[in-house]
Amino acid sequence: KHGCNNTGIFAEYGKGGPVDQALADASYAKSCDLGHTEGCFNQALLKWNSKTDMAGARIVAEKACAQEYAAACNLAGVMQFGGEGGPKDVASALKNYEFACGKNEGVACSNLGAVNYSGLEGNPVNYPAAVTYYTKACELNYAEGCHSLGLAYENGMGQTPDPVKAYQAFQKACTLGSPNGCHKQGFSLFTGAGIASDPQAALVAYGKGCERKVGASCYNLGLMAYFGQAGVIDKVKGRDYYRQACELGEASGCERYGWALRDGEGGVADTVAAAAALAKACSLGRTSACTP
């Protein structure tokens, strides 16, 4: 049964040969039938990720969850909560999230945090519970749980804002690979929220966010380069960051990129490209970029 699961992993990820999703599915299924719970979970996750057989994914996830496989309980909860592969079942989803979180599945703890923080699906808003769940998720090194914990401390929902704890959570989120965590760490470093202002360190954090496709990070890098907010004015670099931000759908980036193209700052002027960038900014809701 372990061999079948391993064959599935090799086929799914192309280890030692070409990627073969059909072989992976069949191998995981056989592993699952032989009683290997991890094989059941891997099959469920494969189906869920491919979106080709959501009903099948839910059945197998629920089967693995019944055998107390924590990651499968979280996946089953996600599908039950969202009505994927079958009817919406919030009560079962919350039960499965609780079990998985109790088994130290960080993403499940974070999901419970979101339910309590935002009052999802008619559940009551409970900020203290949300912070407790996000804290556990972060302690379990779930990056987005750290990011959400940082937001909770930053916003002070149901408590006094704590910028120091917010920064610490954003810093850990970034270290663990959360793109938005890096962006928020950069913002904290630039503004001096919860940490001494350090524009050079902000550049590094924003750089990680931008590399990981956070448009707002690219935009802020553009501002810092364009206006010399870290000590050196570099309009060429600033314009390129604005371009990256625009490509990632950041409206303000499109507007600034359009202005730079129009005015020939940071590179040659290009009125046609400028008009296109400003039109995109307008379509993304930046009214100041719209033609009167």
Q: What is the pLDDT of residue 157?
A: 82
Length of the chain: 292
pLDDT tens digit sequence for 42-79: 999 999 999 989 999 999 999 999 999 999 999 999 99
- CATH of residue 184's domain is 1.25.40.10
Token pair 């920064």: residue: 167
- The verdict on residue 116 lying in a domain is yes
Q: Is the pLDDT of residue 1 over 70?
A: no
Instruction: Assign 92 to helix, strand or coil.
Output: helix
Residue 154 and residue 139: Cα distance in Å, rounded? 18
Please provide the average confidence, as pLDDT, over all residues in the chain.
96
Q: What angle do CA 72, 73, 77 make, to 5 degrees?
A: 115
Within 13 A of 127's CA, how many CA atoms are on the CB side?
A: 11
Please provide the distance, in angstroms rounded to a whole number, between the alpha carbons at the two ends of the chain. Answer: 67
Q: Is 109 found in the same domain as 93? A: no
Do both 150 and 90 map to the same domain?
A: no
Q: pLDDT confidence of 291, banded at 50, 70, 90?
A: confident
Which pLDDT belongs to residue 160? 92
Which residue segment(s) compose the domain that 110 sits in? Answer: 104-212
Residue 282 covered by a domain: no
Find the mean pLDDT for residues 27-47: 95
Q: What is the pLDDT of residue 31?
A: 95
